[in-house]
């Protein structure tokens, strides 16, 4: 699971659920043509065990048929066919979303519990509806701040997956829930990772929010479990093993934590790849401010040879549009404010660091006119941050802002240099020396005298290990994700959007409602 982050996480959870070597439904080679000595050959699918990979189920496992399970359930539960959910509304014990869910009021009047068990034990139909209909084939609602979608229109996948899990636990289908959740988590991660570039933003953030909702539900179950409250074991289809339930809740919480971490890193990595291509052309090279344009060939020898008049590949509108798309998705899909802050801050840091390092290394860009253009571009980002209630975001651009001020200040006397050191307090002596040395003098300016350059050089300490020329480069690797607190889950929605072709899941949700 740590492959996406290249070891940048402190003590990452090692999740066996996403071991790429695991293959559901295929025998494990053991040198005996797939036959385990002493165990009769098993027909059908193998089961995945979240903490131990894949293993075979032989006759010794004591598996019973669906009919036997149902018969046993009916005998042991004739007087009380309905189970108690671990996800309840403390005020009235009714599941959230009972009204106005768009479902027909359909019940098996003879025994709705029996029908629910049949639906949950039909693994093939359940997987088709959830893995294909709810995850891979889902048309994600478009993010919008002018007409934001309702919360249930965004979080219904998490609610339905949690609802199935909850019902399985109520009826003692612990093994089935383990297989179901392993497939769900694997499908979500592989689906999100299939997107590249800007296309990864919407599915990445949508599933980030849904996985956090699922994790919040598991936290409720864990809290109940620690108080000795189980998922209604008196109504179980088969004998309820408390130890198995405890282990499963612990493993699922662990794996959902890892899944959320990986989803964030997946889409953020793709956004940073896209943004890193935009920063230099848009912020450093583009000249949007009329009256201060300069023809210096774009600063690259290769560009000057080809065509000095070629406009930059990206402009500031491209950067702001990308920031807007990320912001709109995070807000529309109900992500926590802490996640919004860390995502936007990380993108702004990439903009500030990469543009500053580039400007520092370009000789003919250290000019008064270029500084005016760059300052104008910075102002557009400042305005974006203020309009999105993130004025502190501009702190990530402070080095670049001070560099543009240095280029605009006078550099004629030692007193001028003192002013530069006061104004540009974040810049190191080595960075100030490089920018003064590189300063590109226009026809109407006097060159910086050798005496002033000596004054600047005298500030540089040869053995100062803290005086670095370049800022630590912002790579496309993603900073550590700070997991937000669990959400308040008082119950589970049974809402199934009308446009979804998931009849099996829709029937189960109707029975629960």
pLDDT in tens, 201-226: 999 999 999 999 999 999 999 999 99
In a domain, 123, yes or no: yes
Instruction: Cite the beta strand spans of 36-76 per DSSP E.
Output: 47-49, 53-55
In a domain, 166, yes or no: yes
Do 195 and 333 belong to one domain? Answer: no
In a domain, 200, yes or no: yes
DSSP string across 417-466 = HHHHHHHTTTS-HHHHHHHHHH----TTSPPPPHHHHHHHHHT--TT-TT
In a domain, 27, yes or no: no
The pLDDT score that the predictor gives to residue 71 is 54
Do 178 and 241 belong to one domain? Answer: yes
Do 298 and 390 belong to one domain? Answer: yes
184, 130 contact by CB (below 8 A) = yes
Looking at 269, 299, 331, the residue that finishes a domain is 269
Task: Name the token pair of 95.
Answer: 């599941």
388, 351 contact by CB (below 8 A) = no
Residue 220: which of 208, 231, 234, 209 has the closest Cα? 231
Do 331 and 388 belong to one domain? Answer: yes
Looking at 414, 440, 459, the residue that finishes a domain is 459
The pLDDT score that the predictor gives to residue 231 is 79
For residue 201, give the CATH number of its domain.
1.10.357
pTM of the full predicted structure?
A: 0.78
In a domain, 100, yes or no: no
Secondary structure of residue 220 in the 3-state scheme:
helix
* Radius of gyration (C-alpha) of the chain in whole angstroms: 30
Looking at 239, 269, 299, the residue that finishes a domain is 269
The pLDDT score that the predictor gives to residue 397 is 97
Rounded (5°) CA angle 302-304-308 = 135
The pLDDT score that the predictor gives to residue 120 is 95
Give me the phi and psi of 49, to 5 degrees please.
-115, 115
Do 242 and 362 belong to one domain? Answer: no
Do 290 and 400 belong to one domain? Answer: yes
Tally of domains in the chain: 2
Instruction: Tell me the pLDDT tens digit for each residue of 257-307.
Output: 999 999 999 999 999 999 999 999 999 999 988 878 887 654 445 454 545
For the chain, the residue count is 513
Do 144 and 234 belong to one domain? Answer: yes
Do 369 and 438 belong to one domain? Answer: yes
Domain that holds residue 259: 112-269
pLDDT per residue of the chain (513 residues) written in tens, 0 to 9: 444 444 445 554 444 445 433 334 333 344 444 433 443 443 333 333 333 333 333 343 444 455 555 555 545 554 444 444 444 333 333 333 333 444 444 443 468 888 999 999 999 999 999 999 999 999 999 999 999 999 999 999 999 999 999 999 999 899 999 999 999 999 999 999 999 999 999 999 999 999 999 999 999 999 999 998 887 655 567 777 889 999 999 999 999 999 999 999 999 999 999 999 999 999 999 998 887 888 765 444 545 454 556 889 999 999 999 999 999 999 999 999 999 999 999 999 999 999 999 999 988 899 999 999 999 999 999 999 999 999 999 999 999 999 999 999 999 999 999 999 999 999 999 999 999 999 998 888 889 999 999 999 999 998 888 889 999 888 778 899 999 999 999 888 999 999 999 999 999 999 998
Do 250 and 306 belong to one domain? Answer: no
Do 257 and 313 belong to one domain? Answer: no
Give the 3-state secondary structure of 265-286: HHHHHHHHHHHHHHHHHHHHHC
In a domain, 325, yes or no: yes
For residue 381, give the CATH number of its domain.
1.20.58
In a domain, 430, yes or no: yes
In a domain, 488, yes or no: no
């Amino acid at each position: 699971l740590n492959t996406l982050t290249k070891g940048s996480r402190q003590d990452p959870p090692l999740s066996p659920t996403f071991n790429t070597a695991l293959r559901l439904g295929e025998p494990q080679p053991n040198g005996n043509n797939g036959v385990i000595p002493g165990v009769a050959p098993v027909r059908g699918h193998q089961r995945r065990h979240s903490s131990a990979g894949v293993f075979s189920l032989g006759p010794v496992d004591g598996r019973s048929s669906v009919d036997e399970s149902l018969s046993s359930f009916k005998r042991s539960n004739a007087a009380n066919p309905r189970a108690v959910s671990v996800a309840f509304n403390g005020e009235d014990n009714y599941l959230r979303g009972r009204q106005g869910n768009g479902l027909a009021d359909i019940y098996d009047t003879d025994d709705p519990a029996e029908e629910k068990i049949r639906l949950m034990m039909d693994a093939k139909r359940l997987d088709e509806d959830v893995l294909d209909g709810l995850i891979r084939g889902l048309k994600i609602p478009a993010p919008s701040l002018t007409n934001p979608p309702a919360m249930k229109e965004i979080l219904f996948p998490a609610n339905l997956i949690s609802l199935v899990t909850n019902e399985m636990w109520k009826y003692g289908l612990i093994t089935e829930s383990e297989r179901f959740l392993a497939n769900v988590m694997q499908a979500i991660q592989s689906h999100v990772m299939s997107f590249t570039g800007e296309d990864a933003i919407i599915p990445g953030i949508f599933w980030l929010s849904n996985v956090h909702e699922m994790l919040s539900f598991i936290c409720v179950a864990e809290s109940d479990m620690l108080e000795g409250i189980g998922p209604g074991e008196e109504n179980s289809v088969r004998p309820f093993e408390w130890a198995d339930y405890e282990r499963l809740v612990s493993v699922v919480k662990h794996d959902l934590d890892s899944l959320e971490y990986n989803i964030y890193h997946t889409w953020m990595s793709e956004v940073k790849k896209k943004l890193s291509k935009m920063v230099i052309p848009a912020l450093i090279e583009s000249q949007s401010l009329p009256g201060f344009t300069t023809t210096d060939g774009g600063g690259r020898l290769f560009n000057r040879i080809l065509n000095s008049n070629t406009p930059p590949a990206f402009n500031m509108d491209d950067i702001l549009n990308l920031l807007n798309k990320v912001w709109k998705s995070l807000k529309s899909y109900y992500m926590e404010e802490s996640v919004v802050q860390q995502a936007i801050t990380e993108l702004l840091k990439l903009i500030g660091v990469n543009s500053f390092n580039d400007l520092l290394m370009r000789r003919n860009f250290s000019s008064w006119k270029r500084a005016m253009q760059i300052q104008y571009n910075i102002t557009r980002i400042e305005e974006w941050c203020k309009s999105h209630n993130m004025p502190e975001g501009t702190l990530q651009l402070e080095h670049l802002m001070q560099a543009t001020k240095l280029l605009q200040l006078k550099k004629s006397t030692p007193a001028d240099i003192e002013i530069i050191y006061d104004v540009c307090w974040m810049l190191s002596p080595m960075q100030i020396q490089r920018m003064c040395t590189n300063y590109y003098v226009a026809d109407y300016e006097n060159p910086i005298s050798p005496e002033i350059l000596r004054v600047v050089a005298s500030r540089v300490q040869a053995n100062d290990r803290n005086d670095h020329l370049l800022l630590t480069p912002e790579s496309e690797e993603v900073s550590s994700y700070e997991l937000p607190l669990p959400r308040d889950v008082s119950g589970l929605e049974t809402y199934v959007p009308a446009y979804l072709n998931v009849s099996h899941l829709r029937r189960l949700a109707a029975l629960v409602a």
